[in-house]
Amino acid sequence: MSVSNYLKLIIDQAQFTPWLEWIAILAAIAEVLLAKANRVLLYPAGLISTAIYTWLFLRPGTRLYADAILNIYYFAMSIYGWVLWLQRKNGTILHISVANKNDWFKIILGCLGGWALLYALLTRIFPLMFPWYAISDVAAWDALISATAWVGMWLLAKRKIENWILLNISNLVAIPVYVYKGMPFTAALTLFLFIVAIFGYLEWKKQTGAQNLPA
144-171 residue pLDDT tens: 998 999 899 899 888 899 999 999 999 9
Show the DSSP H helices in 37-158 as ranges: 42-58, 65-86, 101-120, 126-129, 139-157
pLDDT at 10 over 70: no
* Residue 168, pLDDT score: 94
Name which residue leads in pLDDT, 30 or 64: 30
Residue 183, C-beta contacts closer than 8 angstroms, at least 6 positions apart: 17, 21, 56, 62
Give, rounded to a whole angstrom, the gap between the first and last alpha carbons of the chain.
59
Q: Give the model confidence (pLDDT) of 26-45 as tens digits.
A: 898 898 888 888 888 888 99
pLDDT at 1 over 50: no
Question: Which of 53, 49, 78 is CA-nearest to residue 65?
Answer: 53
Name which residue leads in pLDDT, 11 or 86: 86
Average pLDDT of the residues in 94-117: 92
* Residue 169, pLDDT score: 96
Q: Alpha carbon 61 to chain centroid distance?
A: 21
Among 90-99, 161-170, 188-197, name the most confident range: 161-170
Name which residue leads in pLDDT, 172 or 10: 172
pLDDT at 185 over 70: yes
Q: How far apart are CA 30 and CA 189, in angstroms?
A: 11
Average pLDDT of the residues in 168-181: 91
Model pTM greater than 0.85? no
pLDDT at 78 over 70: yes
* Residue 176, pLDDT score: 92
Q: Helix, strand, coil: what percent of the chain each, to 5?
A: 75, 0, 20
Q: How far apart are CA 117 and CA 150, in angstroms?
A: 12
HSE value, Cβ hemisphere, 13 Å, CA-based, for 68: 15
pLDDT at 113 over 50: yes
Q: How far apart are CA 177 and CA 33, in angstroms?
A: 23
